[in-house]
Structure 1
Amino acid sequence: MRLWPATVLSLALVALQPATAQNEDLIRTTATHAAIMDVATGELLYGKDAATPVPPASMSKLMTVAVVLDLIEQGKISLETPFYVSEKAWKTGGSKMFVLVDTQITVENLLKGIIVQSGNDACIVVAENIAGSEEAFAELMNARARAWGLEDSSFANPTGLPHPDQRMSMRDLAKLARHIWFEYPEYRYLFSIPEFTWSNITQANRNPLIGTMEGAKGMKTGHTEEAGYGVVGLAERDGEARIVVVTGLDSEAQRRRTAIAMMDEAFEAFETKTFFSKDQVVGTAEVFAGKADTVPLRIDQDITYTTHKRILAGAEAEIVYDGPLRAPLRAGEQVAVLRFELPGDPVREFPLYTAEPVKGLGVFEKIGLGLNKLLTPPPDGASSK
């Protein structure tokens, strides 16, 4: 077996799956549960107990919003559709949009009231007008959660108010935020509105990233005594986008500090890097009895990693094949593999193919090659028999 060590390659490689376990050791946060996700790939770059279902508080209102946007996309309602305000909605406590009983409000204004003002009353208006009741709307939320692959989530209400069956993981919140971002791009503006006025009451967006961090786009905060303070944040910088989700914090001030620090870390500590592109020549293999002494090797896929920069720095790659290869060779033959390893990750192998054909030597050329080998003296210290 002929081994080409990584040092002969002019390229480095990155992994197809992020080393989240290692990343957890590289990032520290006071949040009890946290996640960082790359928006483009959906890869979970960092997780701190990120798959555990916990009380999501008002961050679960993202699911309420997602259901509404999904119905708009299906053409069943529109932003201009008026929804009726019941007495129950008007009386709902907690954070409020301050809807007025026996009035009508458009879906667009209700979405602003939910996202910007975190209005529990607005959520009840939406639930009653779409499904008839909170309970029926929660069933719709659960059905959509299953369809969208939210594995660690269950819903009992549209508000996020405490209930034993209202649970979401940080991973699911990140997945949901990404789903909204990609599936309903024309409504992204709703998540970065700095303030909203209803019933002559102006309330500022509670998201600590909006207005304080360049590129911040949303998406939702949450707080109850049970859950602590949390936030789902999304930001874009230099063509990349990251989602940060944290919960279990002790105060608004701590939520603000943690959200900003985690988002900065999400961009500064992690990198998306492509080391090999489809059909790129990555090295050569030696050839015996051919018109050429070597043949270029190409890879048939893009290989990209998104993970912590410190982990990327430890990447190693090597070309392995049983050689020298015997001519003739056709173009497109799999003759080698590219082995890659990141610190702490298992070795991955990617097939390599001949990038061009190599003709074999003719009869007289082979005779000459044999004579040349016979006449070539052995190296010093070696014997010949």
Structure 2
Amino acid sequence: MALVALTLGMLGGAARATPVLLVDAESGKVLEQQEAGKTWYPASVTKLMTVYVALNAIKEGRLTPDTLLTVSPLAASQSPTKMGFGVGTKVTLDNALKMLMVKSANDMAVVIAEGVGGSHADFIQEMNATAARLGMTGTHYENPNGLPDLGQITTARDLAVLARHLIYDFPEHEMLFRIPAIRLGKIVLRNYNRLIDRYPGADGMKTGFICASGFNLVATASRNGKRLIAVILGAPSAVARTEQAALLFEKGFQPSWSIFGASSPTLEAIANSGGPATDMNVCNRKRAVAAAENEDENLYNQGEGAASYAVSAAVAAGFSKGEGAALLQNLPPSMPPIRVFVGPAGAAPAQQDDALQAAKPAPPATAAKTDGDKKSKQKTAVITPNAADAPKDGSKAAAKPDAKADAKPAASKPAAKPATAKPTSGDKAANAAPAAKPKPKAPDADDGGEPLTFGPPPTTRPGT
């Protein structure tokens, strides 16, 4: 009875009505589900299909992990979060995949798409053909990274189908989905999936956020030979998303636990409902903290007021305060940060450092210092514009961000570096802020925090 009560409290009843799904990975049996066939915007969990198509191309011998891919103008133009390498930068497919999965880099998604598919359009066609082949009947893709598009849709059921295929079609690449952090030069970038190294047994997969989708997560965990897949769509915060997944896993690992008992249906038995995706409109809600994919980190930096807001938002959405948090802990690192680099595989460290320096885009000649330079050394938490304000034709016309969600500086201040120094993570160049307020781009997909850019700050506030 206690488990049943905990489940109902975690789901928040029918009023919550956002998709939740827990599946036994090996058998495909559904252990728990709510609205699993409901149409939803995938945001950056889109990148799981981008990875699947790329790994399948390796399996078919079309390219290798060491194949060099090139950053095109289209890739470089993607909204943050991104790596921010200059046009013409070379990166191996292996490194691009690691940056994609850990940093959720939107530019690397396009680099992979163009390098694997031959063109962006051909890769999208292959994504959709793959979805059809895998039986993902409620899914359609328009881009490889999850940036807002009314035609980019999926369901929790389909995402669980995709996760199962990633696990069992490419077991040799399982580490890709559980890397806790990557190291680029002197910069360490942490995975946005905060179950990794915090929930015992967590071993994948991908987070996602845009204003219209809310906070999404496809997660996997293993214990005593049993592996589970949890899909959370439309959570009210990154904190709630993480804790909800931990609660689902904990119940799923209980002996014989299933709300369906012995008659558990399989994923294939869940019907996709069709129709338009729900717009969560997260960014237009009154919030005490900017909506970002790494919201838990932003809350830590911004103090108790912001953190208490996220807790109250989660409780209002049907979560019981503290239940999921009690299942999370700071575990010993499962592995050190994985080193990534630009340029060819096998190059000497000095050559890799030179290639990283060459990846810096040149700052504009007209850059001038402004009062904003006083905050140039500080990380900021930022909010994306509302996805509903994005043009329906998928263009990058400007959408106005919420004026109440201004960025706030983090507590720590990394040391300033000269313009020719090696890149720093998430810091704005001190001499690059334009005098006039730049016009924001269309909303970003996933994953919060600042982009790893080497030149001037982007023309839109980086979101997630």
TM-score normalised to the size of structure 1?
A: 0.63
- Displacement after TM superposition at 1:38 (Å): 0.6
Tell me whether 193-202 or 33-42 shows the greater mean CA deviation. 193-202
The alignment status of 1:70 with 2:53, answered yes or no, reads: no
Corresponding residue for residue 311 of structure 1? 261
- Displacement after TM superposition at 1:269 (Å): 6.5
- Displacement after TM superposition at 1:36 (Å): 0.7
CA distance in 1, matches of 2:235, 2:198: 19
Tell me: CA distance 1:235–1:140, structure 2 relative to 1, closer, same or farther (3 Å): same
- Displacement after TM superposition at 1:43 (Å): 1.7
Tell me: CA distance 1:168–1:269, structure 2 relative to 1, closer, same or farther (3 Å): farther
1:140 pairs with 115, 120, 126, which one?
126
Corresponding residue for residue 112 of structure 2? 126
SS at match of 2:145: coil
- Displacement after TM superposition at 1:100 (Å): 3.2
SS at match of 2:131: helix
CA distance in 1, matches of 2:134, 2:261: 31
Quick one: which amino acid aligns to residue 79 of structure 1? Answer: P
Quick one: which amino acid aligns to residue 49 of structure 2? Answer: M
- Contact 1:99–1:199 (CA<8 Å) still a contact in 2? no
Quick one: which amino acid aligns to residue 11 of structure 2? Answer: R
The alignment status of 1:90 with 2:73, answered yes or no, reads: no
- Contact 2:22–2:228 (CA<8 Å) still a contact in 1? yes
CA distance in 2, matches of 1:311, 1:73: 38
Identity %: 35
Tell me: CA distance 1:215–1:187, structure 2 relative to 1, closer, same or farther (3 Å): same
Q: How does 1:370-385 map to 2 (within 5 A)?
A: none
- Displacement after TM superposition at 1:207 (Å): 0.6
- Displacement after TM superposition at 1:93 (Å): 0.8
Tell me: CA distance 1:35–1:84, structure 2 relative to 1, closer, same or farther (3 Å): same
2:11 pairs with 28, 32, 36, which one?
28
Task: Show CA shifts across 1:96-150 (max 9, x none).
Answer: 1333321110111011011111110000101112224333211110001111111
Quick one: which amino acid aligns to residue 67 of structure 1? Answer: V
The alignment status of 1:233 with 2:219, answered yes or no, reads: yes
1:189 pairs with 165, 169, 175, which one?
175
2:146 pairs with 160, 169, 172, which one?
160
- Displacement after TM superposition at 1:91 (Å): 2.3
- Displacement after TM superposition at 1:270 (Å): 4.3
TM-score normalised to the size of structure 2?
A: 0.52
The alignment status of 1:61 with 2:47, answered yes or no, reads: yes
Aligned alpha-carbon RMSD (Å):
2.4
Quick one: which amino acid aligns to residue 253 of structure 2? Answer: F
Quick one: which amino acid aligns to residue 123 of structure 1? Answer: A
CA distance in 1, matches of 2:99, 2:17: 27
CA distance in 2, matches of 1:57, 1:243: 18
CA distance in 2, matches of 1:25, 1:261: 11
Equivalent pairs counted in the alignment come to 257
CA distance in 2, matches of 1:31, 1:215: 28
- Contact 1:124–1:159 (CA<8 Å) still a contact in 2? yes
CA distance in 1, matches of 2:107, 2:123: 14
SS at match of 2:141: coil
- Displacement after TM superposition at 1:259 (Å): 1.8
CA distance in 1, matches of 2:95, 2:186: 14
Task: Show CA shifts across 1:255-283 (max 9, x none).
Answer: 12212112212212644xxxxxxxxxxxx
Tell me: CA distance 1:343–1:241, structure 2 relative to 1, closer, same or farther (3 Å): closer
CA distance in 2, matches of 1:90, 1:154: 24
CA distance in 2, matches of 1:153, 1:258: 24
Corresponding residue for residue 280 of structure 1? none
Corresponding residue for residue 281 of structure 1? none
- Displacement after TM superposition at 1:25 (Å): 6.9
Tell me: CA distance 1:162–1:270, structure 2 relative to 1, closer, same or farther (3 Å): farther
- Contact 2:40–2:233 (CA<8 Å) still a contact in 1? no
- Contact 1:116–1:193 (CA<8 Å) still a contact in 2? yes
Task: Show CA shifts across 1:167-207 (max 9, x none).
Answer: 11001111101100001001000111111133654210011
CA distance in 1, matches of 2:17, 2:186: 36
Tell me whether 204-213 or 133-142 shows the greater mean CA deviation. 133-142
- Displacement after TM superposition at 1:26 (Å): 9.5
Corresponding residue for residue 239 of structure 2? 253
Corresponding residue for residue 209 of structure 2? 223
CA distance in 1, matches of 2:53, 2:104: 16
